Structure 1
């Protein structure tokens, strides 16, 4: 129970970060000067390094706890047990089943992407006023653009399964609210997955907009 609780808490913390991060990234698409000012202001905050440490801890703890939970469940079910199958019916259920089976792969791809993303745009961090230039330099590589798009798809699949799993582990999923929570979680997964898949492509395709002097 304790492991499941922390899997849910770390997962939901990362989902909240993704939602906020996508909002910031969208600024780069619709208003580059405001994006640069936002990024420069954010990076000057004294609490940011502590938040980054907490997010990194959550990003590492979540897969490790999930692997531990999967190992314990596999031992409890025995070697002859087949994969779990949902009995629910509906247009979303085949996608949800695929997302559940793909959890190890989508999680691994997201962890790989996180390491690369941090190495490209966090260590070292771009200078104030040069954030968007650094992002576009990364996305200029077709391999990087493909990985960013694939990571967006992986995030969407991961969240289709993960949001429902998290609310269930926290004891919030009940017959009276199950349909609404599933619909909300899957809608959020679609929004974040599509956003992180399409925004990098849109950034590469949009016409260059000159930034004002000094960012």
Structure 2
């Protein structure tokens, strides 16, 4: 059985990998902001390339494993902390901690629920659904994205999930680098500001995508 420290290190490592993957996913999805005709074919070609690349497939398996390990480790650590009485509600450390740090379990659960919905709406349909083909013969994922993001309720869920993700990232990045021993006192403010900036850019960027599509495809 892994110790709590080992689980924290593993959770930090998977969390940092997931944070890096978010950046790659974000950069790829920026194509949705291109003019509609260009975005249509280019986004589908990009999706086709990812689905047929063996290296990307290997990375995707690492991604799925990281999500599961990160979620399970977070749950186990939270339960252990509560069992030992080491949570913020009983030790009156609220003044020395942030709201996000006290609610990482709740934030993580909300993000996990969103991921299940997100995978079902996009990944599952792309892999196993009967999507039409675009003019270049690629599966028309772009049309699926447009169709889903035309639903106001899904846009609200997406934006709310990005807010939860932002809080989760802000605390998670700082906690990860501290746990891994690279949080040198001389660079505390730099790490904090860099983590906040990264979290805001990624999450605001993702949140703007469904909003942009919703209002430009009426």
TM-score by length of 2: 0.83
In structure 2, how many angstroms separate the alpha carbons of the residues matched to 1:140 and 1:207? 7
How far the C-alpha of 1:145 sits from its partner, in A, is 1.3
Question: Is residue 2:48 matched to residue 1:47?
Answer: no
- Supply the RMSD in Å over aligned alpha carbons: 2.1
Question: Is residue 2:116 matched to residue 1:115?
Answer: yes
Instruction: Name the structure with the higher helix share.
Output: 2
1:197 partner SS: helix
For 1:172, which of 162, 175, 182 is the aligned residue?
A: 182
For residues 163-194 of structure 1, give each alpha carbon's deviation from its aligned partner in whole angstroms, at most 9, with x where no partner exists. Answer: 10110111111211111111101111111121
Structure 1 unmatched ranges of 5 or more: 88-95, 209-215
Count of aligned pairs between the two proteins: 200
For 1:85, which of 82, 94, 103 is the aligned residue?
A: 94
For 1:134, which of 125, 144, 161 is the aligned residue?
A: 144
How far the C-alpha of 1:68 sits from its partner, in A, is 1.4
Question: Is residue 2:70 matched to residue 1:70?
Answer: no
Match of 1:150 in 2: 160
For residues 95-144 of structure 1, give each alpha carbon's deviation from its aligned partner in whole angstroms, at most 9, with x where no partner exists. Answer: x8122233222211110111111111111315525111111111122221
**Residues 168 and 27 (structure 1 numbering): CA distance in 2 closer, same or farther, change over 3 Å?**
same
TM-score by length of 1: 0.84
How far the C-alpha of 1:200 sits from its partner, in A, is 1.1
